[in-house]
Structure 1
Amino acid sequence: MAVYTEVSDEALRAFLSGYELGELLAFRGIAEGVENSNYALRTTAGDFILTLYEKRVDPQELPYFLGLMRHLARHGLACPEPVAGLDGEALRELAGRPAAICTFLPGVWPRRPGVAHMAPLGAALAALHAAGEGYDIERPNALGPAGWAPLLERCRPNGDTVQAGLCDELDAQLRGILQDWPRDLPRGHIHADLFPDNVFFLDDADRQPRVSGLIDFYFACTDLLAYDIAVCLNAWCFEPDRFSNAGQFNVTKARALLRGYAARRALTEAERNALPVLCRGAAIRFLLTRLYDWTNTPPGALVTRKDPMEYLRRLRFHAQAEGPGAYGL
């Protein structure tokens, strides 16, 4: 459930009086997502998404996120564009929470991504990286390499309750990742969380999926562009545990994703060679955040816990990868 803060009709109508969006026609909570409260909003001016930012989002970082989304949208990327109020500001307050209205994007996210989704995904990711050029504000990646050792320390008191010896294994993996981490690859603004539920698709005239929008930029930051690819390889190219061939890496999907990306932005040789360690880093990042939530989330908290062991299996795969050929290159 992703409606943590309820909004009354009266409060919403007062809030909308600060915009030129016409009259309110419909309003409902959106059940997907885990970080913020989201509402589908329809007015006489069209369809929009209202987001109330909950406690896990730092309000001081919202201008970066909203500014990046505006920049990307205005440079041709299909992503939500924040709507400014009558005072010219997009970030406002509603029900005691920072809040913003963004444009609505059509489409649905794929519950079971197939090979046909991969090339459009790769092309959309490359388009995001290109559109981000010229956005001058930077945001360090708080969940990048500098944050992994401190996060592991926070997991250590309860980490081995998930699996015996887990923290020792992660210690060894992390030492190797940080030792091998590349320093001089191309950098820019990245999404850093482009999981299937953050990518909308529609079918084209030939019934082939095309990306209709990228959403949820609240982990976006300034980092290695190829790290964003590694996040996608982890999130899209392993068969989910609930399906046959559970946990297996699908190299056909990976090859299609990378070819789709390269059709819009060619990878450097250094980026190609760095894919195994970048994928190890992306795997340990999501493993650690999941492990922390798994062992520290009290009942009734806003965070939806996800199984960290899924990413341990992925980390082990990447640790055995011998060069970019493991990913279909």
Structure 2
Amino acid sequence: MAVYTQVSAEALTRFLARFDAGELVSAKGIAEGVENSNYLVDTTEARFILTLYEKRVAAGDLPFFLDLLEHLAQHGSPVPPAVPDRDGTTIHELEGRPACLIRFLNGVSVTAPTPEQARAAGAAMGQMHRALEDFGGSRPNTLGVDAWQPLLAKCGRDLDTIAPGLYDDLASGLQAVTAAWPQHGDIRVIHADLFPDNVLMLGDRVTGLIDFYFACTDLRLYDLAIMHTAWSFDARGEAYDGDVGHALLDGYAATFGLADAERAQLPVLCMGACIRFALTRGWDWLNTPADALVTRKDPVAYTRRLAFYRANGAEVFA
């Protein structure tokens, strides 16, 4: 989440007048993330998230995202569907951007997950994947394995202005990953970004899965690999917590299952996840507008993870 587009109180008041959502009390921009403009909105009736879609989120993809959230909500997953206005419309325009009013879910995002919290989060992903078995929607993964080499080329040697040797580290890792990438597997819609900040918790209980705007059709196990890279390390990618990593996999296995052959694929999938996030973080680092209210994320934290999986992946998932 982030704020690229400023919304005045007057414009937001007019926007809320379309809904049975009460009158505006307060609105605060949310700085975390890099994709959309987000506001925490309090009214006399409830609390909401206002999202204005920009950058990588195409307006034509919004019906897919909203159908996905509605499907998951109907199947018992703790997700926040969009709020319809009095005419039943969920996709609007505000300040020249597509916009939705989203239900607010209680809970907090943990920054240092415990094994118990990781187990619950892994179980929630497994339940989500179960719920998506009969989801009919589809969306290509525009940030999948075929996009990484072109993105590396677009970033180029400017990556080395972020950290010396960053370009070569990613180029070497990318060559190894593409040569070993699975050609077959269970393909379905995945979240593709289930970091700790996209999971809301109260204690050890998951209360919300949020921010589905990278959701796409890809290898189901790649979703689990992304989650493993995000949950099992400290923020700098320097320290791997094996207890958290194993608990995450145990939680997933308990609700979906995880065969030995699937575990054997996880090292290369985790390496791929590291390359994907290092590249997109690198691109955002080089191209984020100077006046954007946004917290840039360090791509080197993911090249450190990449080095760990290259050296230890077989042992981690044995």
TM bin (shorter chain)? over 0.9
8 Å Cα contact 2:3/2:294 also seen in 1: no
Equivalent residue number for residue 198 of structure 2:
198
**AA matched with 2:48:** F
| Alpha-carbon shift at residue 322 of structure 1 (Å) | 4.8
Q: 1:170 to 1:85 in 2, by over 3 A?
A: same
Pairing 1:148-297 to 2, within 5 Å after superposition: 148-203=148-203, 209-241=204-236, 247-297=238-288
Relative contact order: is structure 1 or structure 2 higher (C-alpha 8 Å, sep ≥ 6)? 2
8 Å Cα contact 2:49/2:101 also seen in 1: yes
SS at match of 1:132: helix
Alpha-carbon separation, structure 2, partners of 1:71 and 1:147: 28
**Which shows bigger deviation, 257-266 or 170-179?**
170-179
**AA matched with 2:272:** G
Alpha-carbon separation, structure 1, partners of 2:126 and 2:110: 20
8 Å Cα contact 1:69/1:79 also seen in 2: yes
SS at match of 1:102: strand
**AA matched with 1:161:** T
8 Å Cα contact 2:190/2:220 also seen in 1: yes
TM-score normalized with structure 2 length: 0.92
Equivalent residue number for residue 107 of structure 2:
107
Cα offsets for 1:165-203 (capped at 9, x unmatched): 432332222111011101221121111111111111113
Alpha-carbon separation, structure 1, partners of 2:111 and 2:316: 25
| Alpha-carbon shift at residue 298 of structure 1 (Å) | 4.8
Q: 1:123 to 1:169 in 2, by over 3 A?
A: same
TM-score normalized with structure 1 length: 0.89
Alpha-carbon separation, structure 1, partners of 2:214 and 2:79: 15
How many residues get paired?
A: 317
Equivalent residue number for residue 116 of structure 1:
116
8 Å Cα contact 1:141/1:222 also seen in 2: yes
8 Å Cα contact 2:141/2:217 also seen in 1: yes
8 Å Cα contact 1:3/1:29 also seen in 2: no
Aligned CA RMSD, in angstroms, stands at: 2.0
Unaligned runs of 5+ in 1: 204-208
Alpha-carbon separation, structure 2, partners of 1:157 and 1:247: 24
8 Å Cα contact 2:3/2:292 also seen in 1: no
Cα offsets for 1:76-115 (capped at 9, x unmatched): 1001111122332210112222111121100111122222
Taking every aligned residue pair, what percent have the same amino acid on both sides?
48
Equivalent residue number for residue 316 of structure 2:
326
Equivalent residue number for residue 206 of structure 1:
none
**AA matched with 1:219:** F
8 Å Cα contact 2:199/2:206 also seen in 1: yes
| Alpha-carbon shift at residue 223 of structure 1 (Å) | 0.9
Unaligned runs of 5+ in 2: none
Alpha-carbon separation, structure 2, partners of 1:322 and 1:100: 41
Equivalent residue number for residue 79 of structure 2:
79
8 Å Cα contact 1:53/1:97 also seen in 2: yes
| Alpha-carbon shift at residue 290 of structure 1 (Å) | 1.5
Cα offsets for 1:282-308 (capped at 9, x unmatched): 001011111222234453346532221
Equivalent residue number for residue 136 of structure 2:
136
Q: 1:30 to 1:10 in 2, by over 3 A?
A: closer
